């Protein structure tokens, strides 16, 4: 097994090839966006199981030698682990080896089972782990004959919507995001470098990042994610919705959501999905009122604390 904080280009290509194979087989991606972005960074710990027997168990193997991977896992700075094993090489101990190595690095790690697949949950449960968090995927149809309902403009002085402007909004976006998600282990920890990395992604469109301004200062935002590479028939994603504490309770979040849904509907997008914590009852009520229903789930599991 190879453990490294920085992947070579060969290793990144191998990890992406493995990711594509696993996603096609399982119908769900085993790595979320943060883990995919970490492939090109230097903040995560990467665990690799190369296909070559001369490298598969040698901790001193040349990190550039892995051209094909049997398995891969990452330990992100937030203490979460995500991993995958090639469909043709499962039930041979590779998953157990990756999990054991990750927990040696971080015993209290939260291990994601994306899609909550039966096999993944059974594997982690057998390894002595238990569910500590559940993330729901919600989806809403955007049929042309079902217009998005009107929402009253928030009664805030000098309030308006606009598209994201890097110079005006970037630092304030980070501030509002941190305030809105102060209790969220991943979203609330995003800094300016994390934002800049996402702004540099091929799918980013400033017009799809709508901001609510009061006195020309950002007080809320809704971010739409549309990937042209997935084709015109693909669903869009409500990437994130947030409002500053100073305007919460004034209908800003609902107004932003309505604006995003109208934008997507006008563009002919067939449907939209978003992610929400299963215990966030307030957000669930908001999204259910807008016609969203549960379409999937991800489960995070942890090892029981030792006495």
Predicted confidence band at 56 (pLDDT cuts at 50, 70, 90)? very low
Comparing 230 with 129, the larger pLDDT belongs to 129
Judged against a pLDDT cut of 50, whether residue 53 lies above it is answered with: yes
DSSP string, the chain: -EEESS--HHHHHHHHHHHHHHHHHHSS-SS-HHHHHHTTSSSSEEEEEESSTTTSS-TTS-GGG-SSEEEEEEE-TTSEEEEEE-GGG-SSSHHHHHHHHHHHH-TTPEEEEGGG-HHHHHHHHHTTEEEEEEEEEEEEE--TTSPPPP-PPP--TTEEEEE--HHHHHHHHHHHHHHHTTT-TTGGG--HHHHHHHHTSTT--GGGEEEEEETTEEEEEEEEE--GGG-TTSPEEEEEEEE-GGGTTTTHHHHHHHHHHHHHHHTT--EEEEEEETT-HHHHHHHHHTT-EEEEEEEEEEEPPP-
Predicted confidence band at 150 (pLDDT cuts at 50, 70, 90)? confident
What is the percent of the chain where pLDDT is above 90?
Answer: 71
pLDDT at 286: 84
pLDDT at 57: 44
Judged against a pLDDT cut of 50, whether residue 151 lies above it is answered with: yes
Comparing 48 with 150, the larger pLDDT belongs to 48
pLDDT at 210: 96
Mean pLDDT of 300-304: 92
pLDDT at 63: 47
pLDDT at 111: 97
Predicted confidence band at 42 (pLDDT cuts at 50, 70, 90)? confident
- Read off the pLDDT of residues 207-250 as tens digits, 9 standing for 90 and up: 999 999 999 999 999 999 998 777 778 899 999 999 999 998 89
Judged against a pLDDT cut of 70, whether residue 290 lies above it is answered with: yes
pLDDT at 192: 93
pLDDT at 103: 95
pLDDT at 143: 77
- Read off the pLDDT of residues 3-37 as tens digits, 9 standing for 90 and up: 999 999 999 999 999 999 999 999 999 999 889 99
pLDDT at 132: 94
């Amino acid at each position: 097994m190879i453990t490294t904080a920085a992947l070579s280009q060969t290793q990144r290509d191998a990890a992406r090839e493995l990711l594509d194979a696993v996603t096609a087989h399982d119908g769900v991606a085993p790595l979320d966006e943060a883990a995919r972005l970490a492939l090109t960074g230097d903040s995560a710990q990467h665990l690799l199981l190369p296909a070559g027997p001369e490298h598969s168990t040698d901790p001193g193997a040349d990190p550039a030698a892995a051209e094909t991977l049997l398995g891969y896992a990452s330990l992100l700075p937030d203490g979460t682990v995500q991993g995958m094993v090639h469909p043709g090489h499962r039930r041979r101990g590779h998953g157990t080896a990756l999990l054991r190595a990750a927990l040696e690095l971080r015993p209290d790690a939260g291990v994601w089972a994306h899609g909550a697949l039966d096999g993944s949950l059974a594997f982690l449960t057998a390894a002595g782990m238990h569910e500590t968090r559940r993330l729901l995927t919600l989806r809403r149809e955007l049929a042309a004959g079902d217009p998005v309902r009107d929402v009253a403009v928030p009664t805030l002085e000098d309030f308006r919507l606009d598209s994201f402007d890097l110079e005006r909004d970037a630092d304030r976006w980070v501030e509002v995001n941190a305030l809105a998600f102060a209790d969220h282990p991943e979203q609330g920890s995003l800094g300016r470098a994390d934002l800049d990395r996402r702004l540099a992604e091929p799918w980013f469109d400033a017009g799809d990042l709508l901001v609510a301004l009061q006195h020309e200062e950002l007080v809320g935002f809704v971010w739409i994610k549309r990937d042209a590479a997935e084709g015109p028939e693909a669903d869009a994603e409500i990437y994130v919705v947030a409002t500053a504490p100073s305007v919460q309770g004034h209908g800003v979040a609902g107004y932003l959501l309505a604006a995003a849904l109208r934008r997507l509907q006008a563009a002919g997008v067939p449907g939209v999905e978003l992610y929400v914590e299963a215990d966030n009852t307030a957000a669930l009520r908001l999204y259910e009122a807008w016609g969203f229903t549960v379409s999937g789930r991800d489960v995070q599991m942890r090892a029981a604390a030792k006495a």
